[in-house]
Chain A
């Protein structure tokens, strides 16, 4: 269908307006981060200014890096665990399905929908008794739990797309389960692994509830830094914005560069 130039211009204008409204808070965060403290809190707001990286330096030289490292460790370690546990499980649900594969799948995905209220208190007591409070491995375990059902579901949907013949061929060649996994499955579902990892990374990087209740200082992640930041030092908009910009950057970048995987992951594989 061809659209005339006039309606096209009209729709484009509306679309750009909407997009800018939605994006504005993010843009404003970036602008504030590049200002000096007095400029960031001025009224009327400072629109024209010489950008400075001073506040970024300040945040980085202060105590942000350990929080950032904790976030990275918890996200990456839990994502790897999801892949290690999820890939074989997805295989058993898609390629050589076990009996009642549908029920097992239903069970997995239903645990993603359990509210954290379901298991919060016992997990907290357990972490306390095992000396795992304020230990980054407690967050790794919890983030793996949050992401595993989604991981199994997504990986399964990717595995289903592999033509069965390929497995037959590998089996005729006498390949065992492990070499079948390595030679056939992994290369073919590399995009699926990417999509799954992306979703897991986003959810665990941005997670706050467990982080705030299960960690305090040693194992605290970037959102906790932001919280301690406001309670610790009053209103410093430029510094606050610089810290927020740094904390949000990895997921923003990952999501933007892998939009296709993001969409597939968010729709739980419904959209190819």
Chain B
């Protein structure tokens, strides 16, 4: 039915089922975000009643001048880039491995997705206490022959520890996405390449890699969006420390909003975080839409 013949009544009937969800999302995400922007122009501390006062761009100026904000941005970038890069490479490798004719492929996949399904809070506790504790942890015992026993790994290499745990958690995610891509590949093309005399490595680079590229990109982008928000493992393992060594933007926001109760400051951080995230997110959306070719119907 051509769009022009759809009457106004019909158009509203079509919109009706959409409205509850749309209204809900606008109410709970868009209006609060507008309020975040509004509050970011005020100086307001919940611990000091009556401190609500318009200060213009002061909060933003303070952010630019604040050393710990710069540290948090840097930490966020380091954590996200390292964790995403390593987990994409590992996930790709494991996916290719599981795509071979290995014994017990189903069980292998089941085991590997374990880390992704385990509640991050619980996982962080298990890592911190039973594995990495310098006195009673398993790693301390295993590393003793190498002269590294009793080393407090979390304290000495805080950022590396957080990156390692995020890699452990997100590699299975990347693996699942890439493996799913590999399994949707047309095997006849590979077979034809083999008949034409292409080596395994050559056909992987020329045929398989370009085919799964969108899946790798999707994994990397979705992973970035989630890993930028890392909070659980930092809260549980390092509390942003030692010093500010592992304070990223979400943890800084938590400190400013819920330890300092500086509403204006926290909102300014929120606005900056949204702008930074939107850059990555718009790339993610473009990839997503290109995989789906959204106007299918």
Question: Which A residues fall within an 8 A CB radius of B?
Answer: 1, 3, 8, 11-12, 14-16, 18-20, 22-23, 25-26, 28-29, 32, 40-45, 85-86, 88-89, 91-94, 96-99, 102, 104-111, 113-126, 141-142, 144-145, 148-149, 152, 157, 160, 164, 177, 202, 205-206, 208-209, 212-213, 222-223, 226-227, 230, 235, 237, 240-241, 244, 247-248, 251-252, 255-256, 259, 262-263, 266-272
Most chain A beta-carbon contacts within 10 A, residue among B94, B126, B236, B281: B126
Q: Total A-B pairs in contact (CB under 8 Å)?
A: 309
CB of B103 within 8 A of CB of A8, answer: yes
Asked if A149 and B25 sit within 8 Å, CB to CB, the answer is yes
Whether the Cβ atoms of A122 and B35 lie closer than 8 Å is yes
- Give the size range of B's interface with the partner: 35 or more
Give the distance in Å from the alpha carbon of A107 to the alpha carbon of B278 in the complex: 12
Within the complex, the shortest CB–CB distance from B193 to chain A, in Å, comes to 11
Q: For the complex, would chain B's binding face be called helix, strand, loop or mixed by DSSP majority? A: helix
| A interface, over-half SS | helix
Q: Which residues in B have their C-beta under 8 angstroms from that of A235?
A: 129, 133, 136
Could you say which of A16, A119, A149, A223 contacts B36, with CB atoms under 8 Å apart?
A119
- Cβ contact within 8 Å between B119 and A15: no
Instruction: Identify 10 new A-B residue pairs, CB closer than 8 A, beyond the known A244-B119, A259-B113.
Output: A1-B190, A22-B115, A22-B168, A88-B17, A108-B25, A110-B285, A113-B225, A120-B270, A206-B119, A259-B110
Contact across chains for A121 and B263 when beta carbons are under 8 A apart: yes
Give the residues in chain A near B225, CB-CB below 8 Å: 113
Q: Does B29 contact A (CB under 8 A)?
A: yes
Residue among B18, B108, B141, B180 making CB contact with A45, cutoff 8 Å: B141
Contact with A along B259-292 (1 / 0, CB 8 A): 0000100110111011001101100110011011
Instruction: Report yes or no: B102 in contact with A12, Cβ–Cβ below 8 A.
Output: yes
Asked if residues B15 and A15 are in contact (CB atoms below 8 Å), the reply is no
